[in-house]
Amino acid sequence: MKTAITPTRAENYPDWYQSVVKAAELAETSPVRGCMVIKPWGFALWELIQQALDGMIKATGHQNVSMPTLIPMDFLAKEAEHVEGFAKETMVMTHYRLIDNGKGGLKPDPTSELEEPYILRPTSETMFGYMYAKWIQSYRDLPLKLNQWGSVFRWEMRTRLFLRTAEFLWQEGHTAHATQAEAVAETVLMHNVYRDLLENYLAMAVIPGTKTPDELFPGALTTYTLEAMMQDKKALQASTSHFLGQNFAKAANIEFLDQDGERKLVWTTSWGASTRMVGGLIMAHSDDNGLVLPPRVAPAQVIILPIYRSDEDKLRVLAAVEELQDQLQKQTAFGVAVRVKVDDRELRGGEKSWQAIKQGVPLRVELGPKDLDKHQICLTRRDAQPKDKQFVSQADFIAQVGELLETMQAGLFEKSKQNLAANTQTVTSLDEFKAFFKADGGFAQAYWCEDAINHPLLDQLKVTPRCIPEAGQPNEVGECIFTGKPTKVQVVFARAY
């Protein structure tokens, strides 16, 4: 069967992914190594995700701020685990002026070398810590719960649009609390906010859990994670939420005077999600004809394609299209107005239809003179085959469009859950573990103990521990499949992006 995307998923999944991004006009590579240009359709998708998450963040009592992109190098050095975790991917600014290099180009002016270099933020715990030390003096200043939206920079050797780029868009929240219990509760709260976003907006099934000690965020005591399975059975870390204890409070000297007049260190958290979610959405739902979008975050949920041949028909059809668009926009799906786009460009109908398919628009509506005579529309769902058209009365479609979009959203989530369940397996021995990943792979859950950290087999199979899942932990003691030692902990393993 002919498909719009080549190669197909079965032929070459990584190249298929890149082809979907290109065909959907989401993004393309930029002249800056490892960076991307997000195009209008891709940015509209990101904006809808951002708006949803921003609303959730504010609803849980956080406020937005903006911190500098440049961070003094000595800030990063204050927290030992933090600097060790980010040192290899940190970009550094060393000069502030350019001069002619004598060869028709430019070079840094040697006289403008900075006494102290700046780093382009890979994350902002240290900058927030510095400001929190100024802003927090008393228990009355707590909790302090702030978030920022912006770019961060991490040098990547192997880049892939949305999934791993040298600069990417994200949000990062940072909070300070008077007690450990409050900080842990905050970390779990945001962990659940991300789960809500991923499951109910992006229709992605996830395994919630905590990271093993070797996979913790640098400087964190506990990292909560949401691990999603892509269609090639690899894992994607979709978001993380970190309980930082008092590590960063000590490094930045963030103290407060408690109700008893005693000076104490605060307890802090940080949590973030990025444009990597867009990459996950693409790989979780799309097919060999292009992007498939969950209707809740689709920039256009319905696209209307006018069909006509004569000028007389054109006037009649376009007037009807305008009326249909107006009626559809008065309907709601997911509690907001349905988003409707009209493609009235002077292009062949097939060309416009295939563009809508490749861009993942959930519902395509064709409307021509014959349809007007019969008071109907020609409807195609993106979660069906391109030629699976059905004729529906205009009145019924208008009345049912919201319900239809919500049904499609639920269907994508159910499909994602089935993919996760079908490709997750409990393994009870090292031989079974090897066989699982030498075959098709997926998510393997097995008994594990901390003595198994950095076991050579994991590197050999290119497998990593993804999380200690919150649900399904056994009550009985078992044997770590790597060491044979007794343990009550099971871990999910997978190859990952």
In tens, the pLDDT along 110-136 reads 999 999 999 999 999 999 999 999 999
Phi, psi of 136 (to 5 degrees): -100, 120
What does the alpha-carbon distance between residue 382 and residue 362 come to, in Å, rounded to a whole number? 5
What are the structural domains, with CATH classification, of the chain?
13-285 (3.30.930.10), 295-408 (3.40.50.800), 424-494 (3.30.110.30)
Does residue 87 or residue 417 have the better pLDDT? 417
Predicted confidence (pLDDT) at residue 201 exceeds the cutoff of 90: yes
Distance in angstroms (rounded) separating the CA atoms of residues 192 and 212: 19
- Distance of alpha carbon 217 from alpha carbon 224, whole angstroms: 10
Residue 2 has pLDDT above 80, yes or no: no
Does residue 85 register a pLDDT over 90?
Answer: no
The pLDDT mean for the chain works out to 96
- Report residue 337 as tokens: 């107005």
- Measuring CA to CA, which residue among 331, 348, 349 is closest to residue 340? 331
Condensed to tens digits (0 to 9), the pLDDT of residues 141-157 reads 999 999 999 999 999 88
> What confidence score (pLDDT) does residue 82 get?
80
CB count within 10 Å of CB 118 equals: 18
Alpha-carbon separation of residue 299 from 12, 32, 303, 338, 371 (angstroms): 28, 28, 10, 10, 26
Mean pLDDT in residue range 239-263: 97
**160-165 mean pLDDT:** 96
pLDDT of residue 80 exceeding 80: no
Query: Residue 411 pLDDT more than 70?
Result: yes
Kindly state the average pLDDT of the residues 34-56.
Answer: 98
Q: Using the predicted structure, report yes or no on whether residue 313 has a pLDDT greater than 90.
A: yes
- What are the beta bridge partners of residue 302? 340, 363
Q: Identify the H or E element spanning 458.
A: helix 456-461
Per-residue pLDDT reduced to its tens digit, 230-247: 999 999 999 999 999 999
Percent of the chain residues topping a pLDDT of 70: 100
Closest CA to 297 of 142, 405, 429: 405
The whole-number average pLDDT for the span 373-386 is 96
Q: Is 345 helix (H, G, I), strand (E, B) or coil?
A: coil
Long-range contacts at 429-432 (CB < 8 A, ≥ 24 apart): 429/481, 430/457, 430/481, 430/482, 432/481
Which DSSP helix (H) or strand (E) runs through 479? strand 478-479
User: Does position 52 have pLDDT exceeding 90, yes or no?
Assistant: yes
Query: Omega before 7 cis (within 30°)?
Result: yes
Residue 1 has a pLDDT of 61
> Mean pLDDT across the stretch 3-31?
96
Is the pTM higher than 0.75? The answer reads: yes
pLDDT mean over 198-206: 98
Contact in structure between 132 and 75 (CB atoms under 8 Å) = no
Compute the distance between CA of residue 271 and CA of residue 223 in angstroms, rounded to an integer: 9
- The answer to whether 324 touches 304, Cβ cutoff 8 Å, is yes
Report the run of H or E that residue 170 belongs to, with start and end: strand 167-177
Could you tell me the CA-to-CA distances from 451 to 36, 165, 213, 476 in Å, in that order?
A: 40, 33, 11, 19
460-485 pLDDT, tens digit per residue, is 999 999 999 999 899 899 999 999 99
